Chain A
Amino acid sequence: MMDTVLDVLSWIFLLGGAIFLLVGAIGALRFPDFYTRLHAVSVCDTMGAGLVLVGLMLQGGLSLVTVKLLLMFYFMMFTGPTAVHALAEAAMQSKLKPVVDEREP
């Protein structure tokens, strides 16, 4: 019983993560300028990766594998946003202009 619940839960997490990854990738392809695309990519890095890793943790159970997954989760939650921040910062420094809506409201 417990196993089934865990299984179903982990599938939900995994599928949710996969959907977020796809959405992020589509956003990275379709959005109009660099900054908006960056926004989409950060969804991949945090939400998508996080959900997939949680799903795998539920599959791994209480073992060394889960500890490693936790470590990965910890790393990714720090590295993803930092990398995206550094990218945005570097792009701003090089005066890459965001696309803005010029029309009067």
Chain B
Amino acid sequence: MEHLVDIVLLGLLMITGFAIVRMRSLLAAAMLTSIYSLLSASLFVVLDAVDVALTEAAIGAGISTILLLATVALTTDEEKAPRHTPLLPLVVVIATGAALIYGTLDMPHYGDPAAPIHQYVAPTYLHDTPGVIGVPNVVTSVLASYRGYDTLGEVTVIFTAGVGVMVLLGYRLRRCNITGPGIRNLIVLRVIAKLFFPLILLFALYVLLHGDYGPGGGFQAGVVFATGFILYALAFGLGNAQRLIPRKLLRIMVAVGMLIYAAVGIESMLLGGKFLEYRVLADDPVTGQRLGIMLIELGVGIAVASVVLIIYYAFVSRHCQAPEDM
């Protein structure tokens, strides 16, 4: 039964992919990309990759669609017709695709317990996590503790992205109070936004704190948190949102999030352990691990939320250049 769902979802994904390529209107393509993310997120759920599904839903279907559309709104809507015949690229793509498919023939079957990836470090992670880390969600323990360096690197990438966007687009503080003419009658939206804004923030905290037990964690929580503020900005205007959470604060918070993470590493060094070795943080190693994971998830959450909001502000405030038409 699950195989049937897999196959149908994969088929739909493929059709959507072709449709995106064929679509000349960039807006329509952006909308289809959002549908594509939703479909692939449900595929991840079917495959039991719950944490990935949560991330894909929050980032792929939410933030990236919004940013894509904001970008399209700054350029033209129609894709320009290619000037050359795409024969050579087609040959290259077909050759690469054929090589990749040939490569998959040697791969172990889906879910094969004897596959190399399940033999190398995975058994150790699965076996040690309950005793050494004390966190029920193995994904969180791998992400935050065993591979803490990797995650620090990922947060650095996000930090760099935020800084890059700030430098390129959003360094000037533009004031713009009125939002666009899309929906004139905002009463319904405002009432709903008032109802939902606190709930979304609360839910983000739940995702952050519940990351030890179920799907969730700093990355997802950060995005959900930022989504709450984006809803606020959509309903009450960018100006009001910037008064609520100003850019200056965001700029500081990005650094704070990053520094919390790094500081946990330094602290564990000061306490006699290695960099990001959480077990020295408390008297009991397991408590130390949990404390460390909680702290770095908090840092990740703060950094991600601030970066997403910075990027959103930067993109949307590009539309504010002429105040009278806003």
A and B touch in the complex (CB under 8 A): yes
Residues of A within 8 A of B (CB): 75, 78-79, 82, 85-86, 89-90, 93
Across the interface, name the chain A residue whose C-beta is closest to B199.
A75
Asked if B192 contacts A89 (CB within 8 A), the reply is no
Q: Are B182 and A85 in contact (CB under 8 A)?
A: no
- Note all chain A residues with C-beta closer than 8 A to B183: 86, 89-90, 93
Whole-angstrom distance between the alpha carbons of A89 and B181 in the complex?
11
A79 to B181, CA, bound (A): 21
CB distance from A28 to the nearest CB of B (A): 13
Smallest CB separation, A15 vs chain B (Å): 17
Does B22 interact with chain A (Cβ within 8 Å)? no
B100 interface residue (CB < 8 Å to A): no
B84 adjacent to chain A (CB < 8 Å): no
Q: Secondary structure at chain A's binding surface: helix, strand, loop or mixed?
A: helix
Query: Is the beta-carbon distance between B181 and A93 smaller than 8 angstroms?
Result: yes
Give the size range of B's interface with the partner: 10 to 19
User: What distance in Å separates the Cβ of A68 from its nearest Cβ neighbour in chain B?
Assistant: 10
Q: Are the C-beta atoms of A82 and B184 separated by less than 8 Å?
A: no
A93 surroundings in chain B (CB, below 8 A): 181-184
Closest to A74 in B: B199
A61 to nearest B CB, angstroms? 19
11 interchain pairs, CB-CB under 8 A: A75-B196, A75-B199, A78-B192, A78-B195, A78-B196, A79-B192, A79-B196, A86-B183, A86-B188, A89-B185, A93-B184
Interface residues of B in 182-235 (CB under 8 A from A): 182-185, 188-189, 192, 195-196, 199
With both beta carbons as reference points, the residue of chain B lying nearest to A85 in the complex is identified as B188
Residue of B nearest to A94 (CB): B182
Min C-beta distance of A86 to chain B, whole Å: 5
CA distance A90 to B186 in the complex (A): 11
Shortest CB-to-CB span from B32 to chain A, Å, is 16
B184 touches A89 (CB 8 A): yes
CA distance A90 to B188 in the complex (A): 13
Alpha-carbon separation in the docked complex, A89 to B188 (Å)? 11
Given the complex, which residues of B lie within 8 Å of A90, measured CB to CB? 182-183
User: Which chain B residues in 142-186 approach chain A with CB under 8 Å?
Assistant: 181-185
Tell me the smallest distance from the CB of B107 to a CB of chain A, in Å: 36
Complexed CA–CA distance, A85 and B185 (Å): 10
Which residues of B, 96-129, contact A by the 8 Å Cβ criterion?
Answer: none
